[in-house]
Structure 1
Amino acid sequence: MLGDLSATDRSSEPLSPMDLYTHRAKLIQNEPFQFIGFNREFYPEIVNNGYTVQMNFKGENRPRLTGGGLRFNEYVVHNVHFHWDSEHTVNGCRFMLECHIQLIASEFRNFKEAAEKKGLAILASLWRFSDQENPSINTVLASHEAIATNPKIPALAEHPIIISQLIPENTSNYFRYEGTITYPPFYNNTLTVFAERAHLTRKQLYILSDIYNEVGDAVVYNNLQTIKSKNAPIVYFNGDKSSCKCLKFP
């Protein structure tokens, strides 16, 4: 279920990120997600793009996603990137990290073609601190020395990454809205923000976020202010709203 959609492929202003509130969200019940290849090992290209750490997935054998009430039948993973602190807030809470899995509908050849046909979607996970390391974050960190001070120069992952380790175990409870990418032109982008959290250690976040841009400045924060537009999209919630507990910011 997608809610109200504009007639064009873009907005005149950004519609993401948002402050999300369970009591304001309209309940929906979509069919479950089907994650195809999310438990397989991949060796993506890892790059410091001067703004964030990003993993690029290429080729025909990328992880795929179906279900979840999305507009197209099947999507493939285009990239994975991070924001510190989180871009979205939930019930007034902001989190230390947000991970975006950028998807494009598989019937399109590339990002631009998908963007022009409303074929973009994001899976967003919010993160909490844990004493247990996240193994896929460790995969990213293995390439950190090569990319931290070398923006725009990619490195091939030294160890395999498993994308399912970057999303929470429970993927049935989530917010859904029709947002946009956050830079002009503001192409439509269907946002799924999981209610439950993924985890990493404080040390992992400290290393992950220790990158520098092209003029040598540290990227201290790379999140955007939540939008306050009069044209803010309708927000839906799939699943059990009680799963969306607000913890204090660590």
Structure 2
Amino acid sequence: MLNRLFKELFASNPGSPPPSPRTPVQSHLKSRRQLEVAGQQVKTAKRGKKREGRKRSSERFILGPETHGTPTENQIPWKPAETQRQQERKTNTLNSRKLLSPAPTLSLSLPALSPCPSPLVPRPPVPCTPSGHTMLFFTLLLEVIWILTANGGQHWTYEGPHGQDHWPASYPECGSNAQSPINIQTDSVTFDPDLLPLQPHGYEQPGTEPLNLHNNGHTVQLSLPSTLYLEGLPRKYVAAQLHLHWGQKGTPWGSEHLINGKATAAELHIVHYDSESYESLSEAAQRPQGLAVLGILIEVGETKNPAYEHILSHLHEIKYKDQKTSMPPFNVRGLLPPLLAQYFRYNGSLTTPPCYQSVLWTVFHRRAQISTEQLEKLRETLFSTEEEPSEPLVQNYRAPQPLNQRMVFASFIQVGPSYTTGEMLSLGVGILVGCLCLLLAVYFIARKIRRKRLRNRKSVVFTSARATEA
């Protein structure tokens, strides 16, 4: 009877392969499986949930002659999730069937999807953990936030809660051990005969294109063309820009570098970058000795400086932060002191955030001079914000930083103490007054001695006359 039923079932599907010889137990189990599958199909049709089977990763499809391509319960993706006990029972049943049936199996392995199961596809309960793409996204987001917080748009000032004492919190390199400016002690510098005199090229006529003058809220900055460069340095350094530092009204200081503890009224910086090694100023600013900056100390003189007047006469056009104007080119060489062979050299940093320690500093021994009127124009014209009411742009200089075992070299031999023009005049006047006082003192002393001698002579003559009469 079982054999007849087995033949009828296979006759209903002529495309199926001929049955393999089986034992009576295997035939009984096979017919039972077919009845279960047929009943399951009827139940599925009554519920109206018959759908097309879907292939998913980590699932195994068993297609053998005994199933004739009919999907089992594991192949129905819309079936509700089963309990763990039911899954274990079904797994044991399938394993027993595999042992009893030699039918070939076809295993399909697809790429794994997200570890978090979709609500439309029932799967065994798996803990939902963030995927690698999610972790990468959050890592990149945190990096962007950190960059925007640390660098992009970070507000800094010279005084107050964002002042120079707090710069290292936002710009760590500002707290490093090779910062600028410094106090140059002339009795501690080392003479270096290999330091050649600097020769600026193109400074007398920087092209014909207008120059851009900019109030960036921290200083007044003038762009310079790449036709300006320096000779006398280890490599070719091309000019990029210049800017000024100054104090406020009523104070005699405003420079960043000090010489023997003394500051001047203002300081000019001309920034160059190594054009042989780097393509831009921003790239060179982050490399050792990528920049070369000339530091010119400015003191007050009796006459106007025509070169500085080219810049100062346009300050009223850029009174507020981020304002720009164009000005015709002029002789930039006039901004430098007359003697360029005497200077100090050391390795330092930018004096403003981010304080990159990439600057080869050249601070000239001689000073440039501007008039009192020009200095007041520099101190009173500019503002540090975009519109009124605004804070005046003053005291934009950084305090001197520790030298920290760095060497400061000099291109000349210091014969005596260094004095400014005012100090030399004061010294000359003092010497002259001292000489006059000394001459007066000698005159009065000599006059007193002369009177004393005259008295002694009269006394001797009078005594002799009395002795003769007696």
Greater shift, 191-200 or 238-247, is seen at 238-247
CA distance in 1, matches of 2:214, 2:416: 34
For residue 168 of structure 1, report the CA deviation from its aligned partner. Answer: 0.5
Q: Which has the larger radius of gyration?
A: 2
- 2:183 corresponds to: 19
User: Can you give the 5+ residue segments of structure 1 that lack an aligned partner in the other structure?
Assistant: 1-9
* Pairing of 1:68-107 with structure 2 (within 5 A): 70-71=233-234, 73-84=235-246, 85-107=254-276
For residue 112 of structure 1, report the CA deviation from its aligned partner. Answer: 1.7
- 1:227 corresponds to: 401
- 2:305 corresponds to: 134
For residue 41 of structure 1, report the CA deviation from its aligned partner. Answer: 4.5
CA distance in 2, matches of 1:66, 1:153: 34
Mapped contact 1:86–1:94 kept (Cα < 8 A)? yes
**Compared CA separation, residues 225 and 12, structure 1 to 2 (3 A):** closer
1:143 and 2:335 aligned: no
Tell me the secondary structure at the aligned position of residue 245 of structure 1.
Answer: coil
For residue 209 of structure 1, report the CA deviation from its aligned partner. Answer: 2.4
Instruction: List per-residue Cα deviations over 1:41-98 (Å, max 9, x = no partner).
Output: 453211111111110124x4x311011xx34x21111111111100011012110011
Give the structure with the larger strand fraction: 1
What amino acid does structure 2 have at the position aligned with 1:175? F
- 1:56 corresponds to: 223
- 2:322 corresponds to: 152
- Structure 2-normalised TM-score? 0.47
CA distance in 1, matches of 2:413, 2:219: 32
- 1:3 corresponds to: none
CA distance in 1, matches of 2:415, 2:239: 30
Give the structure with the larger helix fraction: 2
CA distance in 2, matches of 1:92, 1:198: 19
Tell me the secondary structure at the aligned position of residue 316 of structure 2.
Answer: helix
CA distance in 1, matches of 2:199, 2:281: 22
- 2:202 corresponds to: 37
For residue 99 of structure 1, report the CA deviation from its aligned partner. Answer: 0.4
What amino acid does structure 1 have at the position aligned with 2:295? A
- 2:292 corresponds to: 121
Tell me the secondary structure at the aligned position of residue 209 of structure 1.
Answer: helix
- 2:391 corresponds to: 217
Mapped contact 1:91–1:246 kept (Cα < 8 A)? no
1:207 and 2:377 aligned: yes
1:66 and 2:231 aligned: yes
**Compared CA separation, residues 51 and 243, structure 1 to 2 (3 A):** farther
- 1:4 corresponds to: none
What amino acid does structure 2 have at the position aligned with 1:165? G
1:237 and 2:410 aligned: yes
For residue 208 of structure 1, report the CA deviation from its aligned partner. Answer: 1.7
CA distance in 1, matches of 2:379, 2:181: 20
Q: Provide the aligned length of Structure 1 versus Structure 2.
A: 233
Greater shift, 99-108 or 177-186, is seen at 177-186
- Structure 1-normalised TM-score? 0.86
Instruction: List per-residue Cα deviations over 1:93-131 (Å, max 9, x = no partner).
Output: 110011000111122221121123331011001112112
**Compared CA separation, residues 232 and 214, structure 1 to 2 (3 A):** farther
Mapped contact 1:46–1:155 kept (Cα < 8 A)? yes
What amino acid does structure 1 have at the position aligned with 2:262? C
Mapped contact 2:196–2:411 kept (Cα < 8 A)? no
Mapped contact 2:343–2:365 kept (Cα < 8 A)? yes
For residue 243 of structure 1, report the CA deviation from its aligned partner. Answer: 7.6
For residue 244 of structure 1, report the CA deviation from its aligned partner. Answer: 6.6
**Compared CA separation, residues 232 and 49, structure 1 to 2 (3 A):** farther
User: Can you give the 5+ residue segments of structure 2 that lack an aligned partner in the other structure?
Assistant: 1-172, 247-253, 427-470
| Highest RCO, 1 vs 2 (Cα 8 Å, sep ≥ 6) | 1
Tell me the secondary structure at the aligned position of residue 231 of structure 2.
Answer: strand
Tell me the secondary structure at the aligned position of residue 112 of structure 1.
Answer: helix
Mapped contact 1:93–1:246 kept (Cα < 8 A)? no
